[in-house]
Amino acid sequence: MPFKVGLTGGIASGKTTVSDYFTQLQVPIIDADIIAHELVQPGQPTLILLENAFGAKIINPDGHLNRAQLRQQVFNNPKERQQLEAILHPRIREIMLTQAQQITYPYCILSIPLLLETQQMNIVDRILVVDCEVTLQRDRLAKRNGFSAIEIDKMLAAQARRQDRLAIADDIIDNNGNQAHLIKQVAELHKNYLQLSSH
């Protein structure tokens, strides 16, 4: 099993950008979001479980998951959100660890946006948090996704607090600056992780 770095951060903090830079350095990335996406394709057992749990209205006429409908349904209902997480997270975790076992590179990155919220700190060897000011997150969500201020408030409230995420970090990438600053931080961490994984 390679050395596993858990990559996390708040919504719109720049996790994907950071993952992309690690990919350019040939580092294998195992992405929880991609696995979640694959698990809910038409015909997948997980999608059937979701339909049973949340009703036929979360399935589009073409058989695909209606993400917006599901998000809306669980967003205002903590109990349903817990139910959704209970269905998805153990399956995602299992697939991530299976994929990690097959990696021959010295280390890999497990990109888990809800690492802290789902208490998965124990499945990684080190935690890397991508951090930026909340004002920047709001700005990106409004520009990139067109969300309203109320929607953004709800999204941020549903996630772990910034200080709680920083408290579990072994490493922090500061994404308040420019691209060059970001690339430099990734390059330094890459060297560090290669060293750590060889011990």
Q: What is the pLDDT of residues 168-178, one digit of tens each?
A: 999 999 999 89
Cα angle at 90 between 72 and 36, to 5 degrees?
Answer: 50
Q: Which of 12-16, 98-102, 120-124, 153-157 has the lowest mean pLDDT?
A: 153-157
Reply yes or no on whether the pLDDT at 118 is more than 90.
Answer: no
Mean pLDDT, residues 19-30: 97
Query: Which one, of 66, 112, 79, 106, lies nearest residue 191 by Cα?
Result: 106
Reply yes or no on whether the pLDDT at 40 is more than 80.
Answer: yes
**Residue 59 has what DSSP assignment?**
B
179 with 115, same domain? yes
Mean pLDDT, residues 95-117: 95
171 with 141, same domain? yes
Report the domain count for the chain: 2
Predicted pLDDT at 162? 93
122 with 199, same domain? yes
110 with 141, same domain? yes
How many Å from the N-terminal Cα to the C-terminal Cα in the chain?
A: 13
SS (H, E, C) 137-176: HHHHHHHHHCCCHHHHHHHHHHCCCHHHHHHHCCEEEECC
Q: For residues 67 and 60, what is the distance between their CA atoms, to the nearest angstrom?
A: 9
Mean pLDDT, residues 10-24: 95
Q: For residues 175 and 182, what is the distance between their CA atoms, to the nearest angstrom?
A: 6
23 with 115, same domain? yes
Q: What is the pLDDT of residues 59-92, one digit of tens each?
A: 999 999 999 889 888 877 889 988 998 999 999 9
User: Structural domain of residue 73, as residue ranges?
Assistant: 34-102
Predicted pLDDT at 72? 83
For residue 129 the two structure tokens come to 């948090």
Helix, strand, coil content of the chain in percent (nearest 5): 60, 15, 30
Q: Residue 170 is part of a domain; what is its CATH number?
A: 3.40.50.300
Reply yes or no on whether the pLDDT at 199 is more than 80.
Answer: no
Q: For residues 41 and 44, what is the distance between their CA atoms, to the nearest angstrom?
A: 6
Query: Residues 181, 145, 162, 129: is their CA dihedral positive or negative?
Result: negative
